[in-house]
Structure 1
Amino acid sequence: MKKIAIVSAGGEIAQALIKEIGDARVYEIDPQNPPDLPEFAERLQEDGMTDVVFSGKVDKRAVFSSKINFAKKDDISILKDISFYFTTRGIKVRSQLRWLKRFLTKEGVITGRMSEAFDMNIKFGFGIAKRLVRLGIGQTVCVKNGIVVAIESLEGTDETILRAGSLVQDFVVFKGGKNGLELPVIGKKTILAMKKAGAKALGLQANRVLLLPSAVGLAKKEGISIVGL
């Protein structure tokens, strides 16, 4: 009999997973100070867990103090190494998509309307974001008038958006992603960051980013356009 563990670093996506999976045990971790991997894997084994799904984003700066010598430090490689570590100990790492496929971003305008300027900047941002993802740098790029204002690195999506807002107003944000065990997620926090920063539109790579209904509802309320490419 399968016993599923949800390893949650916080965020709305954990609640969505709990609701969709139903019978699962939740292990909450501090995203700023994640547990030691060998000790945590041993704990899951002792608890009889057969499957694990990760939820939420761990602060990448935690890699600097990790006892695990990751061959590569980009998000995808780290997750693959962690997955291999658990698998060799009899615990299968499952993709969020097994339960959250209905939240995948679809192509087309999702909220608001796209002006010609927004459309141009979002398509430009799409090209930049794909390169960032491929290089393992980040997933988010902020653009205004065909100029890159900010790109994501260690700080994460929301902080990247706020940094862009400290430089310009009325910009657009694009977020890309890769197929993998854990997909990037857009929830209310990102829309609130966009509102605070003065961003007007959000482009998302279709079928590569999870978009929660709470984010869609808030974007409609705040007049922020969302489009899937």
Structure 2
Amino acid sequence: MKRIGLIAGNGNFPLLFGKEAKKRGYFLVGIAFHGETSPYLKRIADKIFWLKPGELTKCFSLLGQEKIKQVVMAGQIHHDRLFKEKLPDEELKSLLKTLPDKRTDSLLRAISEKLKEARIELLPSHIFLSHLLAEEGILTRRKPTEDDWKDIKFGRKIAAEITGLDIGQTVCVKNGVVLAIEAIEGTDKTIRRASRFTRGIIVVKKAKPNQDLRFDLPVIGIRTIKTMVKTKAKVLALDPEKTLLLDREKVIALSNQKGISIVVGDEK
């Protein structure tokens, strides 16, 4: 039986990948992290190992022990844990010292190079899940107004700048004003921060200009839509073919119920 590894962060993304890998006949070895990975993964994986975030040496040792030659990274590990917790791993400490900065791409690219040195191939994170990539068009009943489109265009311009600098993926705008830019806190907290200023915000989530499909692919699920409902946000704009749309039916149903527009791509 073919073997594949899963380095699993939080959310449903790792679970969906795991289910699809099993459907295709893979023996799935999960590397899970306390305080991040859903316990449900143990029902999907053939083998699962629980680590503390940052235990890089142990992660690589387990992948070697299990004879894993291909691995996927799916789901986020909260980046702020680098600041909140003592790092348990000397190899990770050494790796961090070699980096010019600790932005997401810098860290994940360094880890991918370590995997390569160990002769482990890091596969695109959406492998087996390409059917979940958001297709171009308006996915909801509510269509953006003319003013909404102006803000979407403005938000995309700002988002292109921040993604190019690997600061974040999400920008919240209204009436040509930037209300919040995502940094380390993640999309949902960025939306909540923006909503302190006004209702009816436009949320733009964008992939990096040269997005590495092996990691940090933009992901949207039902949790973000629930956040938009609570904060009275009205439009979510996404990139086509570079954003994973999880819980699709629930996302569209709730958006339709609450009058939220989901737009993928540019105005026609």
TM-score by length of 2: 0.80
Q: 1:72 aligns with which of 79, 92, 101?
A: 101
Distance 1:144 1:132 in 2: 17
Amino acid aligned to 1:147: V
Task: After TM superposition, give the deviation of residue 194 of structure 1 in Å.
Answer: 0.8
Structure 2 equivalent of residue 151 of structure 1: 181
Determine helix, strand or coil for the equivalent of 2:71: strand
Q: Distance in 2 between matches of 1:94 and 1:37?
A: 18
2: CA distance, partners of 1:34 / 1:217: 35
Partner of 2:228: 194
**Is 1:15 the equivalent of 2:19?**
no
Which is higher, the Rg of structure 1 or of structure 2? 2
Does the CA-based 8 Å contact 1:3-1:49 persist in structure 2? yes
CA contact (8 A) 2:202 2:235 kept: yes
Aligned amino acid, residue 135 of structure 1: L
8 Å contact 1:2–1:51 — kept in the other structure? no
Deviations 1:130-172 (Å, cap 9, x if unpaired)? 1110011111000011100000001010110111112211111
Taking structure 1 as reference, are residues 220 and 156 closer, same or farther at Cα in structure 2, changes over 3 Å only?
A: same
Residues 15 and 203 of structure 1: CA distance in aligned 2, closer, same or farther (over 3 Å): same
RMSD over aligned CA atoms reads: 1.7
5+ residue gaps, structure 2? 37-51
Structure 2 matches for 1:163-182, cutoff 5 A?
163-178=193-208, 179-180=211-212, 181-182=214-215
For residue 130 of structure 1, what is the aligned residue in structure 2? 160
- Equivalence for 1:44: 63
Correspondence 1:226 to 2:262: yes
Distance in 1 (CA, whole Å) between partners of 2:54 and 2:67 is 18
1:31 Cα deviation after fit: 5.9
The correspondence of residues 98-117 of structure 1 with structure 2, limited to 5 A, is 98-111=127-140, 112-117=142-147
The aligned amino acid for 1:169 is: R
Cα deviation for residue 55 of structure 1 reads 1.2
Cα separation, 2, equivalents of 1:2 and 1:61: 35
Identical amino acids, percent of aligned pairs: 35
Q: Is the 8 A contact 1:105 1:228 kept in 2?
A: yes
Any idea what SS the aligned residue of 1:60 has?
coil
Unaligned runs of at least 5 residues, structure 1: none
SS in 1 for 2:129: helix
Residue 82 of structure 2: aligned partner: 63
Cα distance in 1 for residues equivalent to 2:100 and 2:64: 25
Q: CA deviation at 1:218?
A: 2.6
Tell me if 1:29 matches 2:33: yes
| 1:173–1:50 distance in 2 versus 1, CA, 3 Å | same
Structure 2 SS opposite 1:141: strand
The aligned counterpart of 1:185 is 219
CA distance in 2, matches of 1:159, 1:150: 10
Structure 1 distance, partners of 2:203, 2:3, is: 39
1:85 aligns with 2:114: yes
Deviations 1:6-61 (A, max 9, x none): 12112111222112211322222146651311221111111222211111111112
Give the aligned length. Answer: 229
Q: In 2 relative to 1, CA 71–30 (structure 1 residues): closer, same or farther, beyond 3 Å?
A: farther
